[in-house]
């Protein structure tokens, strides 16, 4: 049973935080501009512009910003500015228990997967795998096609936050395994899921639709991570598989298989419905997904439909 935050309305208060990598002023300004154009009020974290090694401040300070907005009953959504690395270092500092009584949206992807898994699997609270202000569209993007792809990502986030996102439909893929499955949508970045294996934050795939994506990995590392999903029993336990983008894989030609073919080599053994090529992850468009929510995945010959 999942706990779903309320859909946003104009005039609601949202917060910007940086729980991982350090941020630049322009990405904050762009985030403020877009969110305010939606009629939202925006707070920013006290330590947002701090720098400590590769992080946006010390672990304690990044956690303090996040905890402040978790505790604030007026804040309806917490939007992470970017990923990078650092969320796993906050787990010992953060108490998400207040969100059990006052659930609010947590938004982000990539390294933010750590927080998604904690909310979805340990507390039963839904969250949003979606684009972040670092990737929002803005007029400074010279490539018009990239601008439009980013705009599509940003609009998908707006629809999800305001409760207007009901389904996604996308084209078929030769790797798809047809079928229909229902279950909680869980997952995110594959490398982050691997890093949480065996911990109290491990993703629980029993009866779930597992979503995975990644970027910048070598083919053999993707194979190794998929072997972990096999040998841990996670793929056997899952009801379905949703595969997003695998961007910037650096040795596909040497390895002899694409990243998606590596995933399929292992997933096919279990015969569960599987959909490849969903536009989400580290490329644009990066369409929003309600993680922790019971969804239906239908994979047919003429395309795929996800119903939230």
Place of tokens 């991982």: 20
Judge if the upstream peptide bond of residue 285 is cis by omega within 30 degrees of 0.
yes
Catalytic residue among 2, 47, 110, 156: 110
* DSSP three-state, residue 73: coil
Place of tokens 């401040």: 57
- From 267, 296, 55, 289, select the one nearest 161 (Cα to Cα): 289
**HEC profile of 232-300:** CCHHHHCCEEEEEEEECCCCHHHHCCCHHHHHHHHHHHHCCCEEECCCCCCCCCCCCEEECCEEEEEEE
Q: What angle do CA 14, 185, 211 make, to 5 degrees?
A: 100
> What's the CA gap between 57 and 91, in Å, rounded?
15
Indicate if 37 belongs to the active site.
no
Other beta carbons less than 10 A from residue 36's beta carbon: 12
Catalytic residue among 126, 135, 213, 217: 213
Indicate if 231 belongs to the active site.
no
**116-139 b/e with 16+ CB inside 10 Å = b?**
bbbbbbebebbbbbbbbbbbbbbe
* DSSP three-state, residue 33: helix
**192-209 b/e with 16+ CB inside 10 Å = b?**
bbbbbeeeebebebeebb
Indicate if 137 belongs to the active site.
no
Q: Is 70 exposed, middle or buried (0-12, 13-18, 19+ CB in 10 A)?
A: buried
Catalytic residue among 116, 129, 137, 282: 282
Q: Which residues are catalytic?
A: 110, 213, 282
């Amino acid at each position: 049973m999942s706990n779903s935050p309320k859909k946003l309305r104009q005039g609601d208060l949202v917060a910007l935080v940086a729980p991982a990598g350090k941020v630049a002023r322009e990405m904050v300004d762009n985030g403020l501009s877009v969110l305010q154009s939606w009629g939202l009020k925006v707070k920013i974290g006290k330590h947002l512009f701090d720098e400590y090694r590769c992080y946006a401040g010390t672990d304690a300070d990044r956690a303090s910003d996040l905890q402040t907005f978790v505790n604030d009953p007026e804040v309806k959504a917490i939007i992470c500015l970017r990923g990078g690395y650092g969320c796993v270092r906050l787990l010992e500092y953060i108490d998400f228990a207040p969100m059990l009584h006052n659930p609010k949206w947590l938004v982000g992807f990539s390294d933010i997967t750590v927080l998604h898994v904690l909310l979805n699997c340990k507390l039963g609270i839904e969250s949003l795998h979606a684009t972040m202000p670092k990737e929002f569209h803005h007029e400074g993007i010279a490539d018009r096609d990239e601008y439009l792809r980013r705009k599509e990502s940003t609009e998908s986030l707006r629809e999800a936050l305001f409760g207007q996102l009901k389904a996604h439909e996308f084209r078929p893929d030769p790797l798809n395994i047809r079928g229909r499955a229902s279950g909680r949508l869980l997952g995110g970045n594959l490398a982050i899921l691997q890093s949480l294996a065996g911990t109290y934050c491990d993703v629980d795939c029993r009866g779930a639709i597992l979503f995975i994506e990644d970027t910048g990995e070598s083919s053999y590392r993707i194979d190794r991570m998929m072997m972990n999903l096999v040998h841990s029993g996670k793929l056997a336990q899952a009801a379905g598989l949703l595969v997003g983008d695998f961007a910037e894989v650096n040795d596909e030609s040497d390895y002899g298989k694409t990243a998606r073919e590596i995933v399929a080599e292992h997933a096919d053994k279990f015969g569960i419905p599987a959909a490849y090529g969903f536009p989400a992850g580290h490329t644009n468009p990066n369409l929003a997904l309600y993680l922790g929510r019971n969804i239906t995945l239908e994979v047919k010959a003429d395309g795929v439909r996800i119903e939230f």
